[in-house]
């Protein structure tokens, strides 16, 4: 079947992108580097997402995981269903459609001058990676940086090569934890036995910290409780929420939670705003 993008512009019209490289990460996770036609995706900020269209199959929201987006951007995709399985069948040189970037990302401008703690659980490391890459590109604008990443099994570690380099930097503290240490040893990336919350406990968060968090919904309650023990106020905690989405632009209502459309009001929310949305996050 010949799928063509016509010249008409509607909010649903994707931009064409060519898959430049596909890099396997852990089981069922691949990093796609995609070059976009024309001027690329303008003003893409850490924490925003795109609607990725696989021709003939459908669309899915995927976080942009690169900190700098010019004509090329990176997407870390986990194979779970129709669209992502079809994407995994594609090859370098094939094309896909992209709409976006959409949503509110992390407030990188207002975080300037602050110490930053980044907390990622599982695939939540994808949007958090866009934040640390952005910070490292503008390193002088931010204070101390603490990066915490947790996963169920150590073999699920994503961005292993990059973490090996991050571990060697003197301008950030990196803590990686797995609930189970499986498979071959992972030098030079040091993975500790434990949970994200154990790493928060270990980390020195004395200072003027703002915290950016992304992970599975079950993680938030425990992370927020641990941050409170460190005296971090709610107004300094930013959470990225993933909800089922269809249009990505506030038209279909699929992502409605507690009075807000996540695709527009989020996916990144300040914890104080989430408190106003009932049933969104149950915090201790
Ligand atoms: C803002 C945002 C950013 C995202 N970023 C990424 C990313 O960087 N990488 C990535 O791999 N995935 C990401 N996702 C999740 C991804 O969009 C879903 O996994 C999507 O459903 C995959 O499409 P599919 O057609 O392959 O799966 P489907 O056939 O749609 O669904 C497969 C299974 O996943 C469930 N599911 C669908 N959407 C969600 C969701 N949002 N939360 C929990 N379960 C869901 C379905 O109920 C079903 O059980 C993101 C989602 C959102 C909303
Ligand atoms: S995804 Fe359609 S309104 Fe948010």
pLDDT (mean) for 183-210: 84
* Probe residue for ligand 2, chosen from 11, 246, 257 as the CB with the greatest number of ligand atoms within 8 Å: 246
* Probe residue for ligand 2, chosen from 50, 51, 103, 251 as the CB with the greatest number of ligand atoms within 8 Å: 251
Residue 11, SS3 per DSSP: coil
The model's pTM is 0.92
Q: Which tokens belong to 271?
A: 């914890």
Neighbours of 2 (CB within 10 A): 5
117-143 core/surface letters (b: 16 or more CB in 10 A; e: else): bbbbbbbbbbbbbbbbbbbbeeeeebe
Q: Which atom of ligand 2 is the closest one to the Cα of 262?
A: 4
pLDDT at 192 exceeding the cut of 90: no
pLDDT at 275 exceeding the cut of 90: no
Q: Look at residue 6 in the predicted model and tell me its pLDDT.
A: 41
Residue 246 CB less than 6 A away from ligand 2: yes
Chain-centroid distance of CA 213 in Å reads 9
Q: Look at residue 232 in the predicted model and tell me its pLDDT.
A: 96
- Rounded to an integer, what distance in angstroms lies between the CA atom of residue 236 and that of residue 185? 36
Q: What letter does residue 14 receive in the DSSP assignment? A: P
177 close to 226: Cβ distance less than 8 angstroms: no
- Rounded to an integer, what distance in angstroms lies between the CA atom of residue 105 and that of residue 31? 20
pLDDT tens, position by position, 100-118 = 999 999 999 999 999 999 9
Kindly list the structural domains of the chain, giving each domain's residue range(s) and its CATH number in brackets, ordered by start.
15-102 (2.40.30.10), 115-275 (3.40.50.80)
The rounded Å distance from CA 283 to ligand 1 centre is 24
36 close to 17: Cβ distance less than 8 angstroms: yes
Q: Which atom of ligand 1 is the closest one to the Cα of 241?
A: 1
- Rounded to an integer, what distance in angstroms lies between the CA atom of residue 54 and that of residue 89? 10
Q: Which helix (H) or strand (E) holds 58?
A: strand 58-63
Ligand having the closest approach to the CA of 249: 2
Nearest alpha-carbon partner for 117 in 157, 168, 172: 172
Q: How many CA atoms lie within 13 A of 165 on its CB side?
A: 6
- Rounded to an integer, what distance in angstroms lies between the CA atom of residue 156 and that of residue 28? 10
Q: Which atom of ligand 2 is the closest one to the Cα of 245?
A: 1
Residue 278: pLDDT band by 50, 70, 90 thresholds? low
pLDDT (mean) for 156-163: 92
Identify the residue with better confidence: 255 or 12: 255
Q: Which residues pair with 131 in a beta bridge?
A: none
Residue 254 CB less than 6 A away from ligand 2: yes
pLDDT at 284 exceeding the cut of 60: no
């Amino acid at each position: 079947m010949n799928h063509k993008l016509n010249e008409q512009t509607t909010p649903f019209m994707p931009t064409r992108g060519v898959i430049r490289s596909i890099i396997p990460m852990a089981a069922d996770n691949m990093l796609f580097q995609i070059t976009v036609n024309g001027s690329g995706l303008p003003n893409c900020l850490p924490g925003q997402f795109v609607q990725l269209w696989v021709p003939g199959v459908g669309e899915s929201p995927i976080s942009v995981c690169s900190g700098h987006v010019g004509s090329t951007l990176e997407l870390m995709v986990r194979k779970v269903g129709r669209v992502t399985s079809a994407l995994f069948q594609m090859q370098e040189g094939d094309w896909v459609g992209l709409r976006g970037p959409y949503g509110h990302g992390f407030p990188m401008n207002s975080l300037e001058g602050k110490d930053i703690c980044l907390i990622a659980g599982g695939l939540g490391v994808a949007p958090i990676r866009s934040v640390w890459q952005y910070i490292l590109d503008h390193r002088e604008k931010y204070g101390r940086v603490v990066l915490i990443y947790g996963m169920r099994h150590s073999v699920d570690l994503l961005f292993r090569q990059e973490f090996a380099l991050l571990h060697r930097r003197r301008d950030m503290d990196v803590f990686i934890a797995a609930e189970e240490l499986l498979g071959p040893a992972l030098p030079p990336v040091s993975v500790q036995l434990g949970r994200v919350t154990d790493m928060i406990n270990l980390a020195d968060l004395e200072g003027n910290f703002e915290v950016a968090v992304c992970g599975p919904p079950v993680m938030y309650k425990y992370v927020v409780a641990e941050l409170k023990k460190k005296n971090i106020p709610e107004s300094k905690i930013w959470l990225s929420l993933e909800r089922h989405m269809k249009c990505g632009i506030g038209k279909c209502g699929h992502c409605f939670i507690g009075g807000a459309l996540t695709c527009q009001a989020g996916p990144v929310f300040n914890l104080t705003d989430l408190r106003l949305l009932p049933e969104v996050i149950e915090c201790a």
